[in-house]
Amino acid sequence: MEIILKEDVENLGHRGDVVKVAQGYGRNFLLPRNLGIEATPGNKAVIDQMKASSVRRFAKEKADAELLLQQFDKVELNFTRKTGDNDHLFGSVTGPDIAQALEAKGFTIDRRKVQLAEPLKSLGEFLVPVRLHREVTAHVKVTIEKEADTE
């Protein structure tokens, strides 16, 4: 089955691409979620319009992301966590923690855009990539410090 993608779909294609997919994937996932339309001769004529608007939207989104990238240069996040023996953290700092801290500083970032391979489980400074756009990635400085003992 051929589908014209209306949105970017990870591991499949970008907006405006004509892709060949399995019948079930197309009918049960892509079409109901309005991620694509069936590639009929009539719909193929619409591709050119979609691609032109996609190029304009892509350029605007990229410009917005680059503007946001400049603001991210000054951002530094600090977390304090309880530690055990040998300064081993109880728990960790995860992508949603970082997204929530960014939101507290005035940035609305989806937690899935924080590109953290695995949670941070040690003290120190880390550069965490945040994917603002397909071609724009910011790096946020995250510092994890030991929580003061209350004894």
Over the stretch 14-43, which tens digit does the pLDDT of each residue have? 877 889 999 999 999 999 999 999 988 888
Say if domain 2-63 classifies as CATH 3.40.5.10. yes
Paired with 133 in beta bridges are 136
CA distance 40 to 52: 19
Residue intervals of the chain classified under CATH 3.10.430.100 are: 75-146
Q: How confident is the model at residue 64 (pLDDT cuts 50, 70, 90)?
A: confident
- 71-119 pLDDT tens trace: 887 888 888 888 877 777 888 888 899 989 989 988 888 888 888 888 8
Residue intervals of the chain classified under CATH 3.40.5.10 are: 2-63
- pLDDT above 80 for 123: yes
Paired with 127 in beta bridges are 141
Instruction: Encode burial over 92-127: b for 16+ CB neighbours within 10 A, e otherwise.
Output: ebbbebbbebbeeeebebeeebbebeeebeebeebe
Give the per-residue pLDDT at 150.
Answer: 53
Say if domain 75-146 classifies as CATH 3.10.430.100. yes
Instruction: Please tell me what DSSP assigns to residue 57.
Output: H
